[in-house]
Amino acid sequence: MLNMRRCGLENDVHNPSTEHRVKKIIAVYSSKGGVGKSTIAKELAALYSTKYKVLIIDMDIEFGDIATLFNVESRAGMMNSIRRLGDYQDYNAESVVDRESIICDIVVKINEELDIIPAPGNLLDAREIGETDIENMIDVMRDCAYDVIIVDTANTADDRTMAVLRRADKVVLVESLDTSTYVETMALFEFLRDMQFDISKMSMVINTVPSKAKELDIHIEELIDLIGIRFITTLPQNYRVRLQNNLAMPLVWMHRDSEFARGIRRIAEEFMPNMSYEKKDMFSKIFKK
């Protein structure tokens, strides 16, 4: 008998044809590396997991570090399992049991509310994964009992990343304010428009990562106007981000009153309701004063 709780799929995996429970697939993306995609994906997933059932998928397939950020290991052979998921698009009683065992192979449980699918952690495996495998995996996971699926991505515009962005309901575009990011972002949007990608589902976050790059000589408003997508917030630089990443503990859990955690909450509230503090916490704050 499968231990379904291990994967958090205890509710409706047996009956995937019922109404999809996932309300949102949110991809965190940028044309730039080192701008905080994985950090933001991790923090968003951690925050959502305080209210919702969450899965985070690492689709920076070659060099993903979501497993490291949560201090878990990816599983050998996991990618073979992901490839086999494609065989289970048509559900019947037998295939469901097989499919569940495959999902249990690839999903790692962080706690009751938060599961992750790490990147393979092996470049040879990673190279085997194609666009269709990714589409199949996302389609299968969409049917599982999650309210939110966060997908961390690579800073590429290749077929695999585009498959993720197309499947996502919302895309958080992470930008840093330096000249090379700006040039790359302009090129990206030209490409996305050429590809007839639905940019209306994208919104932008500026992250103030520590950087020696030349700062952008342009106002944020101008940049937002030029890109033409919704702007959510600017995340401040905070030395604790790196510390918490190293400790594999999300900042939104450990330092939830920090400006950075507040910024993450503003992003979270864009897509899912009820991300504010619990009432009892608000009272305890008032009483402290």
Ligand X SMILES: Nc1ncnc2c1ncn2[C@@H]1O[C@H](COP(=O)(O)OP(=O)(O)O)[C@@H](O)[C@H]1O
Q: Among the candidate windows 79-87, 102-110, 177-185, 201-209, which touches ligand X by CB under 6 A? A: 201-209
Strand order in the sheet with 202-207: 108-111, 114-117, 54-59, 148-153, 24-29, 170-175, 202-207, 230-235
**DSSP strand E in the chain: where?**
24-29, 54-59, 108-111, 114-117, 148-153, 170-175, 202-207, 230-235
Cβ proximity to ligand X: between 71 and 284 the closer is 71
d(CA 141, CA 111): 18
Is there binding between residue 241 and ligand X (CB under 6 A)? yes
74 binds ligand X per the rule CB under 6 A: no
* Site membership for ligand X, residue 101 (CB under 6 A): no
Residue nearest to Mg ion (CB): 38
Q: Please state the closest distance from residue 22 (CB atom) to Mg ion, in A.
A: 23
Count of residues for the chain?
289
Phi, psi (rounded to 5 degrees) for 25? -110, 120
39 binds, among Mg ion, ligand X, none (CB under 5 to 8 A by kind): ligand X
Among 38, 176, 185, 233, binds Mg ion (CB under 5 A): 38
Count Cβ neighbours within 10 Å for each residue of 87-125 and write b for 16 or more, e otherwise.
ebeeeeeeeeeebbebbbbbbbebeebbbbbbbbbeeeb
CB-wise, 226 or 243, nearer to Mg ion?
243
Residue from 122, 208, 234, 258 binding ligand X (CB under 6 A): 208
CB of 153 to ligand X, least distance (A): 9
Q: Which two structure tokens, joined as six digits, stand for 158?
A: 């290749």
* Residue 95 CB, nearest approach to ligand X (Å): 35
* 30-69 residues near ligand X, rule: CB under 6 A: 30, 33-39
154 binding ligand X? (CB under 6 A): no
Chain residues binding ligand X by CB under 6 A are: 30, 33-39, 207-210, 235, 237-238, 241-242, 245, 260
